Structure 1
Amino acid sequence: MSAAGWFIVLLALVGANLPFANQRLFGVVPLRAQKKSAWWRIAELIVLYFVVGAFGFLLEAQAGNRFEQGWQFYAITFSLFVVFAFPGFAWQYLVKRRVA
């Protein structure tokens, strides 16, 4: 696998966990609520999937061999993106924290 391929995998891993890593929208925009709702996190996850996918297509086109993809490709890559998000999900929702 080329360096660009590994870079996309690493970018997908970071992008999938970003919604769960903080209480800001896309890590930048502060929200009024103290804690971000699950719906905001799901929306962020979907948007970041398309951002990472667009960046992957950009790198693939730059390499000169862009291939057409069917619905199966998108179903599998979105499923993989959701699996990549599991560490952030577990940290945000499943890890018990001490109440100070």
Structure 2
Amino acid sequence: MSAAGWFIVLLALVGANLPFANQRLFSVVSLKTTKKSGWIRIAELIVLYFVVGALGFMLEARAGNRFEQGWQFYAVTFSLFLVLAFPGFTFQYLVKRR
């Protein structure tokens, strides 16, 4: 696997956990509420999936060997993105805080 492939995997890991890392929208915009709702986190996760996918598409096209992908590819990569989000989800919702 090339360095660009590992870069995309690392970027996907960071992007998948970013919605759960803090209470800001995309880690930039502060919200009026003290806690982000689950729906906002899901929307952020979907947007970040497309951002990481676009960067991966751009790197693949730049390398010169862009391949056509079917719906199966996107279903599998989105599922993998959700699996990569598990550590952030666990920290945000399952870890008890005193």
TM-score range with shorter-chain normalisation? Answer: over 0.9
Equivalent pairs counted in the alignment come to: 98
* CA drift at 1:69: 0.1
Which SS does the other structure have where 2:96 is aligned? Answer: coil
The one-letter code sitting in structure 1 at the alignment partner of 2:70 is G
Percent of aligned pairs with the same amino acid: 85
**What do the CA deviations read for 1:36-72 (whole angstroms, capped 9, x no partner)?**
0000000000000000000000000000000000000
Q: Structure 2: how far apart are the matches of 1:61 and 1:85?
A: 26
Report the Cα distance in structure 2 between the residues aligned to 1:18 and 1:88, rounded to whole angstroms. 8
Consecutive unaligned residues in structure 1, runs of 5 or more: none
Q: Does residue 1:32 correspond to 2:9, yes or no?
A: no
- Aligned counterparts of 2:82 and 2:20: Cα–Cα separation in 1: 12
Q: Could you say which residue in structure 2 is the equivalent of 1:49? A: 49
Report the RMSD for the aligned CA atoms in angstroms.
0.2
Q: TM-score, normalised by structure 1?
A: 0.98
4+ residue stretches of structure 1 with deviation over 6 A? Answer: none
